[in-house]
Structure formats: C-alpha cells, structure tokens
Structure 1
Amino acid sequence: MVLGFFFIVVGLPVILGIGADMFRRWLKHKEKMAEALNNQTAEKAAQYAAHTERLEQRVRVLERIATDKGADLADEIERLRDDRPVN
C-alpha cells in the first residue's frame, strides 16, 4: 500500500515530467528538420526557375532563327555561339 502511494505521489510525476521533456525535445528537432527541408526545397525551386528561364530564352532564339528568312542566318548562329555562357 505504501509502495503504491509512493509510486503515485513521486514516481508518476517524475516519469511524466521526463517523458514530457523528451517529447518537447523531439518536437523541437522535428521542427528544425522541417525548416531545413523547406529552405532546401525553396532553394531548389529557385534554381529550377532560373534554369527554366534560360531554356525559354534559348527556345525563343531558336524559334526566331527557324522562322528568319534573312541571308545573315549563319552569322547570327555564330554570334549566338559566342554569347553562350560557359558553365
């Protein structure tokens, strides 16, 4: 009987307090991991957007070249090759 009372009065609050602290730490860790993942995802989205913009610009140039009827087509193609950024 005394052992049961001791467990209820002392043991249970200690166990619950330790458990609650462990849960708070785990939750804080999960929040940090989610924040890191969000930052990484946003950075990749920005990289994809920049890459898509570069591809769209190249397609516009190719469309213009394909529909151009001018005699200086070869000169314009060579000029575009010279302007291409080196990666």
Structure 2
Amino acid sequence: MFWGALITCLFVSILCFLFSYLIWKKREFSLIAGYNEESFKGDKEKLAKSVGLFLLIIGLLTLLLPFGLEFIGSVAGTLFAIIVIVGTIGLIIYINKI
C-alpha cells in the first residue's frame, strides 16, 4: 500500500513542480484555468508568482503525504485536504485582489 501511494504521490508532485516552473518562471499563463489575456487587468508578475508558489507548496506537501499517512495515519490526509482547500480559497481571493 505504501509503495503505490508513494509512486502516485511522486507522479502528482512532479506534475505540480513542472506546472509551477512553467507558470512562475516561464510565464505560461495559458496553464492557469480561467485566465484570459484581454480581461485580466492585474499584475501578471504577481499572478505568476502566487500561482507558481502555490503549486510548489502543493507539490511538496503531496510528496510528503505518503510518509505522513504511513507514520501519523489518516490525520495526515485530513490535514493535507484542509491545507489544500484553505490554500485554494486564499489563492482565489488573492488573485481577485490583484
């Protein structure tokens, strides 16, 4: 069970790291869901940095998730879900302010 979760989480975390790099450093705004070049009036640099940093943090947490599940138990999964949901809501609020 542990190895399957580790491989799955490793794959998802690599995808998060890749998208983080592409959005934050390469400025691939087309990877952001709902982004429209014509209607966005905010700072594109802040948008790229905030979404890229969020994906980087989610990638790190996803990489650590199987270890937390193995040693702590299902509390780690619940904590992971809460962090992702609260982080996503916070990111949406921040993006709408810039």
Q: Which has the larger radius of gyration?
A: 1
TM normalised by structure 1 equals 0.32
User: If each structure's helix is expressed as a fraction of its own residues, which one has the higher value?
Assistant: 1
Q: TM-score, normalised by structure 2?
A: 0.29
